[in-house]
Structure 1
Amino acid sequence: MRFNLLGPLEVVTEERTVPLGGVIQRATLGYLLLHANKVVATSRLVTALWGDDAPMTSRKMIQNAISGIRRLLAEPDFATRGVRLATAPHGYQLHVDPESVDSVRFHRLAVKGRAELAAGFPEVAATTLSEALGLWRDTVLADLSETGIEWPSFAQLERERLAVYEDWATAELELGRHYELVGELERMAVAVPTRERLCRHLMLALYRCGRQSEALAAYRRTRHALVETHGLDPTRELQELERAILNQDGRLLGRQPQLV
């Protein structure tokens, strides 16, 4: 049994992908899964689905969605796995195995991979962090986003996804895989032009590939984006990396790929 939030909402058993009903029922289930095993007040569900423009019938609509979810969870696929939706004071609590929720597994793998990287095991960390990133199929609850729903947890999860990507790139650079990495880093830097850590990774990868002028151009693009967007210059760390590249500092070369 898997509950997938890192992309369109999916509930997947060993045999099938489960139909989840209309937008209100899907959104209610998605919100409860984002807060799995915690009590969620009915008022929070109403605000999550409609904001300040909740219709007079909003609580009734939530109750209908809850009834639909309960009918779904009464099926044998769910009942035999301890999945249940309980009524709590002023709200509801969805009980699930945390490991069945992909966003929970993502967080666990991210913590594990960072610990492996900090302990000096970049190859193990790269594998773990790659597994975490592989859980993503699209943006968070992409089907609900298409209907106009945007919860703060969406942006938070996307930030965490980018941070894990940067951790993975750190591990890959430590392993001397800059040739394999550089193209992907270039694409990511275009998508997130003000991300300084990402720029640093790209500059190092380009420099280690013998592309010094392109590494410096990457710095200038990020500096321009930061000034235009935030009115800020790059941090001292990024400025020092630019100077080190200008001076062709040999300490930047890191581990080089082995020739066969």
Structure 2
Amino acid sequence: MEYRILGSTEVTEGGRSLAVGGPKPRRALAALLLEAGRVVPVESLVDAVWGDEPPRSAVNALQTYVSRLRRVLGAGTLCRHRAGYRLTADPDLIDARRFERLLAAGRAALAGGDPRVGHRRVEEALGLWRGPALLDVGDAPFAQAEIARLTELRLVAAETRVEARLALGDVSGSVAAARALVADQPLRERGVAHLMLALHRDGRTGEALTTYHDVRRLLVDEFGLDPGDGLAELAQAILRQDPGLRAAPSPAPHAVGPRTARHRE
């Protein structure tokens, strides 16, 4: 049995999606999956399912939803405790946890000088996504922090994939992938850096510098900020045709987007 939240909330067995009920049971299931291995208090589940205005029958209705879920998942998987309920599952059977493990393995392999393994692991990680995280409970307050965290990690994974392609010498693939990243997140400096480097390595230095000036203009116009030092230094290195850029690993500024940009004096 596998549990999916990288997209709509879903439980599958043998590749077949299991019936877990309508919107409210799915909210309860999502809340339990986000706290897998820990007891979730009844009050927290009521808040997750109904928000600030639960009906008087909320606790009884929750018991009904959980009973139905237990019939699907198994009583040993979804257990009743004095304070609430606990869903127990191997982390690797929850797609979000498996995604994080694969991403960490890919980044470690890339940092260790093995971009081929790094690329493979990150591709596996990104392949687990079926749509926006927790798609069917995206409006629920309890899910917002996890949605934001997983969405950020998905962007990191996409950037890491470009990094691995650059390290493997796949210049044209890197340009296409980095361009897609920048189109989606034009102020995220790590993606911009990858695109600049990929274009430069593809012999398109003018386009690389134009990319820098475009993001600089956006930052100045929208936030009154200059790009971060890392991006500005990369632009200067490209301008002077620094030979080290041809073989060096792709740049990865610690800061991304306008958060790393510098205030204009």
What is the TM-score normalised by the length of structure 1? 0.87
Deviation at 1:220, TM superposition (A): 2.2
Counterpart in the other structure of 1:71: 71
Counterpart in the other structure of 1:13: 13
8 Å contact kept, 2:6–2:129 = yes
Deviation at 1:15, TM superposition (A): 5.8
Of 111, 114, 125, the residue aligned with 1:118 is 111
- Give the Cα–Cα distance (whole angstroms) in 1 for the partners of residues 38 and 86 of structure 2: 6
Residues 195-215 of structure 1, C-alpha deviations (whole Å, 9 max, x = no match): 111110010011111112221
Of 148, 170, 185, the residue aligned with 1:192 is 185
Residues 235 and 60 of structure 1, relative CA distance in 2, 3 Å threshold = same
Counterpart in the other structure of 1:45: 45
Q: Secondary structure at the match of 1:151?
A: helix
8 Å contact kept, 2:11–2:17 = yes
Counterpart in the other structure of 1:202: 195
Kindly, what percent of the aligned residue pairs are identical? 41
Counterpart in the other structure of 2:89: 96
- Segments of 5+ residues of structure 1 without an aligned counterpart are 256-260
Of 144, 152, 169, the residue aligned with 1:151 is 144
Residues 45 and 179 of structure 1, relative CA distance in 2, 3 Å threshold = same
Q: Does 1:251 align with 2:244?
A: yes
- Give the Cα–Cα distance (whole angstroms) in 2 for the partners of residues 67 and 226 of structure 1: 52
Q: Structure 2: which amino acid aligns with 1:185?
A: A
Deviation at 1:119, TM superposition (A): 1.2
Residues 15 and 176 of structure 1, relative CA distance in 2, 3 Å threshold = closer
- Give the Cα–Cα distance (whole angstroms) in 2 for the partners of residues 173 and 15 of structure 1: 35
RMSD: 1.9
8 Å contact kept, 1:7–1:140 = yes
Q: Secondary structure at the match of 2:17?
A: coil
Residues 227 and 41 of structure 1, relative CA distance in 2, 3 Å threshold = farther
8 Å contact kept, 2:162–2:177 = no
- Give the Cα–Cα distance (whole angstroms) in 1 for the partners of residues 27 and 51 of structure 2: 13
Of 122, 145, 153, the residue aligned with 1:160 is 153
8 Å contact kept, 2:118–2:164 = yes
Counterpart in the other structure of 1:28: 28
- What aligned pairs does 1:219-238 form with structure 2 within 5 A after superposition? 219-238=212-231
8 Å contact kept, 1:193–1:221 = no
8 Å contact kept, 2:158–2:181 = no
Deviation at 1:86, TM superposition (A): 1.2
Counterpart in the other structure of 2:261: none
Residues 252 and 13 of structure 1, relative CA distance in 2, 3 Å threshold = same
Q: Secondary structure at the match of 2:203?
A: coil
Of 107, 114, 129, the residue aligned with 1:136 is 129
- Give the Cα–Cα distance (whole angstroms) in 2 for the partners of residues 159 and 111 of structure 1: 14
What is the TM-score normalised by the length of structure 2? 0.86
Number of residues paired by the alignment?
A: 246
8 Å contact kept, 1:7–1:138 = yes
